[in-house]
Amino acid sequence: MTVDMELEAVLRAPELEMPPYPPKVITLANSKKMVVRPIKREDVPTLLKVVRPTLDIPRDYYDIVGARLYAELLGWYRYRVRNEYCLIGQVDGFVVGMVNGRMWDQNIGISLHTLAIDRGLHVGAHLFASKMEYHIEHLGQQEVWITAESPIGFRRWMIEYGLIKQEGVQHELGGATSYKLTRDLYFETKPRLVAGVRPVPQELLDQAMQSILIASEAEVTEKICGVKGR
């Protein structure tokens, strides 16, 4: 697609400086090593391939989360969403989950979505925690605004983190009730919710950085819905 750069210069929003998320490795319940790292804008088309199959999975609201995440990532790729980032979890090079968010301004972070492809291993919980870590510890923000589109998300985020309900404040994801994580709350919950070690052993990091491996559409559906199609 040809891009009119003169027009783009008008349409593209100016972006804030965002220091990159330093990769870390998390040991999962099955001892597999999950590398959590940021992707680059040019990685988005590859990542969209793993999001696409979720659009047809109503279970646990994967279709809603997937559709919105797809649009957010595409928007970032085409410079239509401001200050966005995406972190992925990789096991043996394969994407097992992802999270995204953005900076509203220097002080406030917006948590967008969390998508776990491999289920039953706390992949979503680990990645969500990594996202909070990024906003508070690396972007230096004061608070992160969060909402939930599924009961699992509500349970995991609002209850587990003891998030603060923001009466009368609308989250940009459609105006659902907004909750916030403050710096104090983050550091209070960090010991029990934020895992992983740095630096990532070079061999593991090289494997993760070499290429983003994507399971087939059928495999993604199977992973989300269960190995026996249930």
Partner 1 sequence: MRDVAVIGVGIIPFGRRDEDSLLDMLAYSSLKALDDAGLGEKGVDALYVANMGAGILQHQTAIASALADRLSLLPCSADTVENGPASGASAIKNGVLAIASGYYDTVLVAGGEKMREVVGWKATDFVATLTHPQVEYPYGITLPGMAGMLARLYMEKYGLTEEQLIAVSLKNQRMGSLNPYSHVEMMITKEGIHDHRDAIVNNPMAADPLHLYDMCPVSDGAAAVMLCALEKASQFTSNVPVVVAGFGQATDTHTLQERDDPTELKAVTLAAQQAFARAGLTPQDVDVAELHDAFTILEIVESERVGFFKTGEGGKAAERGETALGGKIPINMSGGLKARGHPVGATGVAQVVDIVFQLRHALPEGRQVKNAKVGFTLNFGGFGNNIVSFVLRRAE
Partner 2 sequence: MNRMDQIVAYRCKKCGRIHYPCHDRCLDCKGRDFDRLVAEGDAKLLTYTQIFNLPWGFEVRFLIIGIVEFENKVKAMGQIHAASLEGIHAGMLLKPAWQPVRQVAGEAVYGLVLYP
Of residues 39 through 98, those in contact with partner 2 by CB under 8 A are none
Q: Which is nearer to partner 2, 140 or 151 (CB)?
A: 151
Chain residues binding partner 1 by CB under 8 A are 26-32, 59, 120-122, 125-126, 129, 151, 155, 191-197, 226-228, 230
Nearest distance in Å: CB 77, partner 1: 31
Query: Is residue 207 within a helix (H) or strand (E), and if so which, with residue range?
Result: helix 202-210
Nearest distance in Å: CB 203, partner 1: 18
Q: Give the range of 4-12, 101-109, 133-141, 157-165 binding partner 2 by CB under 8 A.
A: 157-165
Nearest distance in Å: CB 193, partner 1: 6
Q: Which does 162 bind (CB under 5 to 8 A by kind): partner 2, partner 1, none?
A: partner 2
Q: Which residues of 113-150 are buried (b: 16+ CB within 10 A; e: fewer)?
A: bbbbbbbebbbbbbbbbbbbbbbbbebebebbbbbbbe
CA atoms within 13 A on the CB side of 42: 1
Q: Which does 129 bind (CB under 5 to 8 A by kind): partner 1, partner 2, none?
A: partner 1
Nearest distance in Å: CB 38, partner 1: 20
Long-range contacts of residues 175-181, Cβ cutoff 8 Å, at least 24 apart = 176/147, 176/148, 176/149, 177/147, 178/145, 178/146, 178/147, 179/145, 179/146, 179/147, 180/143, 180/144, 180/145, 180/146, 181/132, 181/135, 181/136, 181/143, 181/144, 181/146
Of residues 158 through 177, those in contact with partner 2 by CB under 8 A are 159-160, 162
Helix axes 183-193, 123-133, angle to 10 degrees: 140
Nearest distance in Å: CB 170, partner 1: 25
Q: Which is nearer to partner 1, 12 or 155 (CB)?
A: 155
Positions touching partner 2 (CB under 8 A) are 159-160, 162
